[in-house]
Amino acid sequence: MTVPVTLHTLFEQLGGELALSWDGQGEERPILQAGEGPIQPPVGPFNMIRPNRIQVVGPPELAHLRSLAAQEYNNCLRHLFATQPAAIIFTNDLKPLPQCAEQALASSTPLLLTPQADYRVIRVLQAYFNRPDTITTLLNGSFSRSSARACCSPVSRR
């Protein structure tokens, strides 16, 4: 990807399609820098081992968070916000738990909400980040039958 991607540009381009709501709070953190290609997908389901730049919280992730003991939950949130995600998106009309909303506000992490299903949000965002932003170059040249036979014929093995 050759151009920087920010949450504002993402929100402007996909906010309507994904029915995203955002109160505008949180600091602008880059999702991808100019010229940077994703080493790992910049968006995905809530993942503590390899955190994504955009964390998506759907029903399975919220159920997992709710199943944690208070201390485990607080450690999980501390770790999540220490990675400084560009945004956290709650899907399926889910709302962040109070402690999560408080830590997002304290760390200036944008929280977005959508009624869309988690798998659809991830699919649309991954397609967005994988779109070709490359310059196409047209090359002129000639290709004769003899050169085609030389480069494209099967090699005989003896």
CATH of 7-132, one of 3.40.30.10, 3.40.50.300, 3.40.1390.20, 2.60.40.10: 3.40.1390.20
| Cα separation, 137 vs 153, whole angstroms | 27
Task: Give me the mean pLDDT over the 137-144 stretch.
Answer: 49
- Cβ distance 89 to 114 under 8 Å? yes
Which range has the top average pLDDT, 24-38, 43-57, 99-113? 99-113
Could you read off the pLDDT of 54-113 as tens digits, one per residue?
A: 899 999 999 999 999 999 999 999 988 998 888 999 999 999 999 999 999 999 999 999
Give the domain ranges of the chain.
7-132
DSSP assignments along 40-70, one per residue: S-SEEE--SSS--SEEEE-HHHHHHHHHS-H
Provide the whole-model pTM. Answer: 0.74
Place of tokens 């029915």: 19
